[in-house]
Chains A and B, each alone.
Chain A
Amino acid sequence: MKTLRLACAYLRDRPLGAALNVLLLALGVGTVTALILVSGQMQSRLARDGAGVDLVVGAKGSPLQLILSALYHVDVPTGNVPAALADELAADRLIAKAMPVSLGDSLRGYRIVGATHAYPLHFGARIAAGKMWDGPLQATIGAVVASDGGVALGDRFVSSHGMSAGGGAHEHASFEVVGVLEPTGTVLDRLVLTGLDSVWIAHGQEPPPVAPDSDAVAPEGLEVTAILIAYRSPMAAATVPRRINSTSPYMAAAPAIETTRLLSLVGSGLDVMRAFAWVLIATSGLGVFVTLATAMRERRADIALMRVMGATRTRVFAQVVVEGLIVAAAGAGLGFLLGHGAVEIFAHISEKAGEAGVTGFTVAPVEAVILFAALAVGAAGAIAPAALAYRVDIVRTLSR
């Protein structure tokens, strides 16, 4: 009979203690796994959504709010800036791209973004069906909007004022869906894209036509929400934000700085939860130790009998360590499933998490470290009880 089968038999013989240790370890592993999955996916989503955008220029207010609203589309805008500012910035020799965006309306909770074609092209968008908008009140929708938003190519809709469902409708401006984008894995998938002039029309203004593929977008007196900027040279990082913030009535915010600040704010909470989870894992190691050490006292005669039957000291030592490892492996496995299951459920019940593309159906490489750590905890908890087994005095034990 192999060591593994005998270890399983002993664990089955005292199921409550084994189950409690497995559960404790599973909770710890599950919590750490879930935190790593969510934070990792959020970070990578932030990186994808902000890729290539070095600076966001908008109305003065909170820099973080400006980034969250104009780049990640999860907050309300800080205000508006003149559309002419986009042309002015685009003319700067340090700036490669200046992409204006107009926000403020939505369709069934999906944000409508007025932009030029430079914006979707920056994120590598490709048309899956139809075409890019090329006239007033035409819209090209992201892949998620097409699959989950209840609108399809050729449909007409009116936008709602505000960033979430339930705002007043702009009944006078009926949009037509002229294209659907392929999935990009970025925030673009959840946006309804249209021309800047369409947003102005929806808000009762009568702008001159703006060619969607034109860099010059600035009719006098009209505004956009923010301008996304890509630098031509790294040198720009040292001068452009400072110049805008010190010499203009507008605000320049760097996504790299603001997202780092955001992650450090959120990160401290995550660190506390992560520490708590590691305490759970360590506690389960202690549980393995207590359970096995108690069992060893009751099993001295069994160990002595195994030795009589020919088991070496090393064999009985390994026997006990394997029991600890089985508990650890079961706890780690269950924790893996719990962690991934919890993240998937979280993604379904939390709109924000769903929007951010959080999913439990992915494995982070660092999870291997968690599983290894859980096994190490199980083995460490079993070492001292195994040493007790190793040192059992056969004759004295059998003579009792």
Chain B
Amino acid sequence: MIRISDLCHVYGPRTVLDVPSWEIADGAAALVIGGSGSGKSTLLHVLAGLLTPTRGRAEIDGVDFAKLKPGARDRTRGATVSIVFQGVHLLPALDVAGNLALAADLAGTPAGGDRVERLLMRLGLAHRAHAKPRELSGGEAQRAAIGRAVITRPKLLLADEPTAALDDRNAEIVLNLLREEAAQVGATMVVATHDKRIMHAFDQRLELETPA
């Protein structure tokens, strides 16, 4: 269960995020929409424990990242939350399989056996397991990034504009993958986007307004 209450974040004189309350049930797929500067990414950063809000609480299964010490916050984030970014984020020094293995290791769930291979097969990337990120196409890289996010079996899967840079076909593929993989690992999914093509596919939605 994700529970947000009276959440507010301020940069200088500007309020960039204001969410009075929001709850997302376990395993649900939720959408955060809003224009540029409405605080979509800020909300995801708060949910991931990357940013401590100026006020209010955001809890994942009762855990408020803001209340944890830095080291514990990092470890808890690794074990419970994964993020897929718009700009693909993979470590360029590692191949695709290495990126997935590293994510699992950092999350404290080392990818033993053939977990990486099976996931890459589901993602249609088995043949690219040993390719470096720079050798991947845009679609392959985004699928690899999804693999990197779900290999840890997170409780919460966050995606920040995951389809914004993709064409219709790849946007559909990525969205379906996100939903399937989140369902596969039982993760709650929160997607922040202003991409109208994918707005139909979610159970819940939170609309953020750009502050005046």
Interface residues of A (CB under 8 A from B): 1-2, 6, 9-10, 12-13, 301-302, 305-315, 394-395, 398-399
Contact = CB atoms under 8 A, between A and B. Distances in A.
A301 B87 CA distance: 11
A193 to B, nearest CB: 66
A156 to B, nearest CB: 72
Nearest to A5: B98
B79 A310 contact: yes
Contacts of B85: 398
A395 B51 contact: yes
Contacts of B70: 312-313
Nearest to B95: A9
A308 B158 CA distance: 11
Interface string B186-205: 00000000000000000000
A10 B71 contact: no
Contacts of A313: 70-71, 74
Contact of B98 (A9, A306, A394, A395): A9
A1 B102 contact: yes
Interface string B88-105: 011111100010011101
Contacts of B89: 301, 305, 308, 398
Interface in B78-125: 78-79, 82-83, 85, 89-94, 98, 101-103, 105-108
| Most-contacted residue by chain A among B45, B106, B107 (CB, 10 A) | B106
A311 B91 contact: no
B57 interface: no
22 contacts: A1-B98, A2-B105, A6-B102, A9-B93, A13-B93, A301-B89, A302-B91, A305-B91, A306-B106, A308-B89, A309-B82, A309-B102, A310-B74, A310-B77, A310-B78, A311-B106, A313-B70, A313-B74, A314-B71, A315-B74, A395-B51, A399-B41
B75 interface: yes
A10 B74 contact: no
| Most-contacted residue by chain A among B51, B71, B93 (CB, 10 A) | B93
A10 B98 CA distance: 12
B75 A310 contact: yes
A310 B106 contact: yes
Contacts of B177: none
B75 to A, nearest CB: 6
Given A301-B89, A395-B45, A395-B50, A309 B103 contact: yes
Nearest to A308: B83
B71 A9 contact: no
Contacts of B48: 308
| Most-contacted residue by chain B among A6, A305, A399 (CB, 10 A) | A305
B176 to A, nearest CB: 24
Contacts, number: 71
Contacts of A305: 89-91
B156 to A, nearest CB: 13
A282 B14 CA distance: 50
Contacts of A399: 41
A249 B148 CA distance: 92
A305 B92 CA distance: 11
A4 to B, nearest CB: 12
A306 B91 contact: yes
A399 B98 CA distance: 25
Nearest to B83: A308
Nearest to B73: A312
Nearest to A400: B87
A307 B148 CA distance: 14
| Most-contacted residue by chain B among A1, A312, A315, A394 (CB, 10 A) | A1
Contacts of A301: 89
B94 to A, nearest CB: 5
A305 B90 CA distance: 8
Nearest to B76: A310
A306 B75 CA distance: 11
Contact of B77 (A9, A308, A315): A308
4 nearest A-B pairs in the assembled complex, by CB-CB distance: A310-B78, A13-B93, A310-B106, A1-B102
A259 B98 CA distance: 61
B14 to A, nearest CB: 15
Contacts of B107: 309-310
Contact of B106 (A12, A309, A394): A309
B37 to A, nearest CB: 12
Contact of A312 (B71, B82, B92): B71
Given A6-B94, A309-B152, A395-B45, 20 more contacts: A1-B101, A2-B105, A6-B102, A9-B98, A12-B93, A301-B89, A306-B91, A306-B102, A308-B83, A308-B89, A309-B103, A310-B74, A310-B107, A312-B71, A313-B74, A314-B71, A315-B106, A394-B50, A398-B50, A398-B89
B74 A312 contact: yes
A394 B98 CA distance: 22
A10 B77 CA distance: 24
A309 B101 CA distance: 11
A9 B92 CA distance: 9
Nearest to B108: A310
Contacts of B152: 309-310
A309 B147 CA distance: 13
A13 B99 CA distance: 14
A194 to B, nearest CB: 71
